[in-house]
Amino acid sequence: MTRSRCCFLVALFLAASTVYAQQPATPAATQAVLAGKLIDVRTGAVRPHAYILIAGDRIQSIADSAPSGIPVTDLSAYTVVPGLIDAHAHTLSNPTTQNIAAHLRTSIPQSTVWGVYNLRLWLDHGFTSLRDACEGPPDYPQFALRDSVKRGIILGPRITAAGSCISITGGHGDGTPFSPDMQLPRGQNVADTVDDIAHVVRRDIKYGADWIKLMATGGVMDPISDFHVQELSEAQMAAAVEIAHRAGKKVMAHAEGAAGIKAAVRAGVDSIEHGTMLDEEGAELMEQHHTWLVPTLYCFQHDMETGLSKGRDPDSYAKGVEIMAAQGPAFKLALAHHIRIAYGVDDADVDESVSKEFGALVRGGMTPLGALQAATINAATMLEKDKDIGSLEPGRYADIVAVQGDPLSDITVMEHVAFVMQGGRIIKDPAHPDRNPVIHVK
């Protein structure tokens, strides 16, 4: 062998060794979960008898044979899906009342405690991630909850949080439905001009908002606004979008009435919440702009079931009756235009309602797979977190939910989650029902 050829081979070996050394080592699996049936939420394909190998808090691989030397959680009697995502949550809600006086008498510390309680309920029902869709207190308790979950101080879903509920004076997010002689300081979330909204959006971002929440129209639960009426102007919403997107944040818009939906879409918002009075023109706009829809169907349905029993204002209930007449046709328009849909609940009673949106989506016209996708890969994609959550694939968090039965033929089985793992940590286990017990407050 010539010297030059020998040197070339040595150099090639050293180069290959360097490349090999630079490749990160695949972490060793520390545990595994055996799924009786594993649903690929991207395609609907079902893989029988699959082992999900987990390294730390992430999925390492999925195999057909049992691993050796590591513990295996046997879910062979169950169907396994990814951890669920509620993309329209209000974490501080008190599930026991809809009475406005009770809310006014609830301190921010007490609301935050309700938040800790509610987060545990979301986990118990298989929701390992959520998006908080704005809260009323000006000092952002939802950010404290988000950060406390991230640091491991409290148990709860991973939280993506909007800031304040940005509203005009007298709008759906005003929060002061009092007589004129009861003057209170102007809310930090109130914006009546383009300059006002720039200030409020920048304030939300300053203190840690992941999303900006706009009240494009009136709403149903408050007694003073009209959900048909557009509230924030298109110019205000466009300014909010420009500021938020420049800061790398996204924008969601509460929008019930048709005019407000269309104005919000033209302004460039990333998602429409509710969309209850959606018309043909609005559906076409959403399709063209690739705007997400979070329809929150069951929330309105549930409110009709509970009626005035929790102290709801009669004017609010009357608005709910009208909304229900429009909900079905609007949702069918959204489906006909192939609008991208993410799962969201928007109901204060997490324990009662959080899993019922699956059935409402299917009754509204979605397939069971479509409803399951709304709460997994779709919601993860909307939140731009699909590299971490929303599917059971190598590299994603080991967020694993198991149910008895087949959700692809009967979506209501999702209302009875038997097993929950979040980031490799078992939260709920049918083999150990006393693990992490939940108190159910009524």
List domains and CATH numbers for the chain. 31-82+392-428 (2.30.40.10), 84-382 (3.20.20.140)
Please report the pLDDT score of residue 96 as a whole number: 82
Please report the pLDDT score of residue 304 as a whole number: 78
Phi-psi region of 208 (alpha: psi -120 to 50; beta: other; left: phi over 0): left
pLDDT digits (tens, 9 = 90+) for 117-168: 999 999 999 999 999 999 999 999 999 999 999 999 999 999 999 999 999 9
pLDDT digits (tens, 9 = 90+) for 70-85: 999 999 999 999 999 9
Tell me which DSSP letter residue 185 carries. P
Which residues, other chains included, contact 243 with Cβ-Cβ below 8 Å and sequence gap of 6+?
Answer: 198, 201, 202, 205
**b/e per residue 314-342 (b: at least 16 CB within 10 A):** eebbebbeebeebbeebbebbbebebbbb
Rounded distance between C-alpha atoms, residue 184 and residue 141, angstroms: 21
H/E segment holding residue 323: helix 314-336
Which residues, other chains included, contact 105 with Cβ-Cβ below 8 Å and sequence gap of 6+?
Answer: none
Rounded distance between C-alpha atoms, residue 405 and residue 414, angstroms: 9
Please report the pLDDT score of residue 8 as a whole number: 47
CA distance to 284, 381, 384, 407, 431, per residue, from 210 (Å): 28, 15, 11, 32, 37
* pTM for the predicted model, two decimal places: 0.92
Is residue 237 within 8 A of residue 264, CB to CB? The reply is yes
Rounded distance between C-alpha atoms, residue 250 and residue 213, angstroms: 9
Please report the pLDDT score of residue 22 as a whole number: 54
Terminal-residue alpha carbon distance, the chain: 85
Rounded distance between C-alpha atoms, residue 212 and residue 185, angstroms: 22
Residues of the chain with pLDDT under 50: 8-10, 12-13, 15-21
